[in-house]
Amino acid sequence: MASGSLGRRLVACLLNVSEARRKDLVETVAKAALYEPEGARRAATVLNIFNDCDYNRSVITIVAGVDSIREAVLSACEKACSLIDMRDHTGVHPCMGAVDLIPIYPLGEDVGVDDCAREARAVAQGLTERIPGTSAFLFGWADAPLHRGLAQRRKEMGWFTKTPDLQAIRADVGPPPQKQFGLTGIGSSPYVMNCNVTIDTQDVAVGRSIAAAIRESTLGGIPGVQVLALPHEGAVEIACNVESVKGSPPGHMTAGEAWPTFSISGQLYCHPPASLITARVAELAGRQGVGTKGTALVGFTPQECRAVAELALSQGIAEFWKEQRKIRM
């Protein structure tokens, strides 16, 4: 991704909150990232709000300069924690916190992952200081010096179990997790996309077999893909976190659409395209006599995120999620 002309040193936070059924509430959280309590605008924009009612989970895409992202994110977290109580939460997607996930990603050559890691650690500290009773674990570059990935950290925290034992969890920052706020994952890495493919069955076992086959850790899996199979709207969703992969695209997987590439601090990264994930899921589902119903890309690719953010900030559009359908790129 080429550096933009605005000199903003942009980063993105894909803030995951455990609420989607009350969309006004989620928009209130998004607006808290954009405006000071007295109404003054921050140098930030919310590009997208993705609500999933079955999951009861929303993803808010906040973009700002690396020096401004902390306050925008913390203000959104304060609002979320005042409005969302995990003691009342229901949803089919695993989650542990009212604010479940705070990943911070660089959006160009002029910001490094280490810069984002510094801000992620500051957000973790700020969250637990501003909202007594909140707690956090760190992942990715923020988890220095181990740099453990999100999937590993979630497993260690019991995120994949149906009813995690909060009292048994040792948070990295803050007290033992409380039921009201739960536990928040905070970290940094090169950009991670969310690509969800729905297969036309209610048999979660079929979805799990597909998830296992495409997972990065499986021989022949797709690099960068972490995946769950979840019941969703009367079908099964293959929900993929698509991590950026260091280096050039693997030659044996680039026969179709090219893998998008970008650079951070001089290091080349790439990520598998959604079309490859969709095709692989369709192939595996087809072997079991199951079709696919569609693919949803949550938010943007890293290149799209940078371009859209440049546009929104240059035109002073804070609540871009309301305007995106009106604006031609």
| 278 and 142, same domain (yes or no) | no
Mean pLDDT of the 235-250 span: 93
Could you tell me if residue 328 is inside a domain? no
Asked if 289 and 267 count as a contact pair (C-beta separation under 8 A), the reply is no
Asked if 315 and 307 count as a contact pair (C-beta separation under 8 A), the reply is no
Is the pLDDT at 250 greater than 90? The verdict is no
| 121 and 209, same domain (yes or no) | no
| 142 and 246, same domain (yes or no) | no
How high is the pLDDT of residue 7?
A: 56
Is the pLDDT at 252 greater than 90? The verdict is no
How high is the pLDDT of residue 329?
A: 40
CATH number, domain containing residue 254: 3.30.70.670
How high is the pLDDT of residue 203?
A: 97
Tell me the per-residue pLDDT of 133-172, one tens digit each, with 9 for 90 and over. 999 999 999 999 999 999 999 999 988 887 788 888 999 9
Cα dihedral 159→204→243→105 (10° resolution): -50
Is the pLDDT at 2 greater than 60? The verdict is no
Tell me the per-residue pLDDT of 299-326, one tens digit each, with 9 for 90 and over. 788 889 999 999 999 999 999 999 876 5
Cα dihedral 285→286→290→292 (10° resolution): 70
Could you tell me if residue 87 is inside a domain? yes
What's 274's DSSP letter?
H
Q: What is d(CA 99, CA 102) in angstroms, rounded to the nearest whole number?
A: 8
Q: What is d(CA 36, CA 238) in angstroms, rounded to the nearest whole number?
A: 38
| 233 and 108, same domain (yes or no) | no
| 150 and 177, same domain (yes or no) | yes
- CB-count exposure of residue 152 (10 Å: 0-12, 13-18, 19+): middle
Q: What is d(CA 96, CA 87) in angstroms, rounded to the nearest whole number?
A: 11
**What is the domain range of residue 249?**
192-298
282 or 255, higher pLDDT? 282
| 184 and 211, same domain (yes or no) | no
Could you tell me if residue 5 is inside a domain? no
How high is the pLDDT of residue 325?
A: 64
Could you tell me if residue 170 is inside a domain? yes
Of the pLDDT bands very low, low, confident and very high (cuts 50, 70, 90), residue 211 is very high
Give the count of domains, the chain.
Answer: 2
Asked if 137 and 185 count as a contact pair (C-beta separation under 8 A), the reply is yes
How far is the CA of 202 from the CAs of 138, 149, 214, 292, in angstroms? 35, 30, 19, 12
| 141 and 180, same domain (yes or no) | yes
| 168 and 238, same domain (yes or no) | no
Tell me the per-residue pLDDT of 13-39, one tens digit each, with 9 for 90 and over. 999 999 999 999 999 999 999 999 888
Is the pLDDT at 129 greater than 80? The verdict is yes
Q: What is the pTM of this model?
A: 0.93
How high is the pLDDT of residue 159?
A: 85
| 73 and 172, same domain (yes or no) | yes
How high is the pLDDT of residue 4?
A: 44
Element containing residue 94 per DSSP (H, E): none
Indicate the pairing of strand 136-140 with strand 184-188. parallel
Could you tell me if residue 238 is inside a domain? yes
CATH number, domain containing residue 166: 3.30.990.10
How high is the pLDDT of residue 166?
A: 86
Could you tell me if residue 253 is inside a domain? yes
Count the alpha carbons within 13 Å of 144 in the hemisphere toward its beta carbon: 12
Could you tell me if residue 2 is inside a domain? no
| 280 and 293, same domain (yes or no) | yes
| 180 and 197, same domain (yes or no) | no
How far is the CA of 244 from the CAs of 113, 247, 268, in angstroms? 12, 9, 10
Tell me the per-residue pLDDT of 260-297, one tens digit each, with 9 for 90 and over. 898 888 899 999 999 999 999 999 999 999 999 999 88
Mean pLDDT of the 117-133 span: 98
Mean pLDDT of the 59-68 span: 97
Could you tell me if residue 4 is inside a domain? no
| 169 and 123, same domain (yes or no) | yes
Beta bridge partners of 9: none
Mean pLDDT for the chain? 92
Mean pLDDT of the 1-13 span: 67
How high is the pLDDT of residue 5?
A: 40
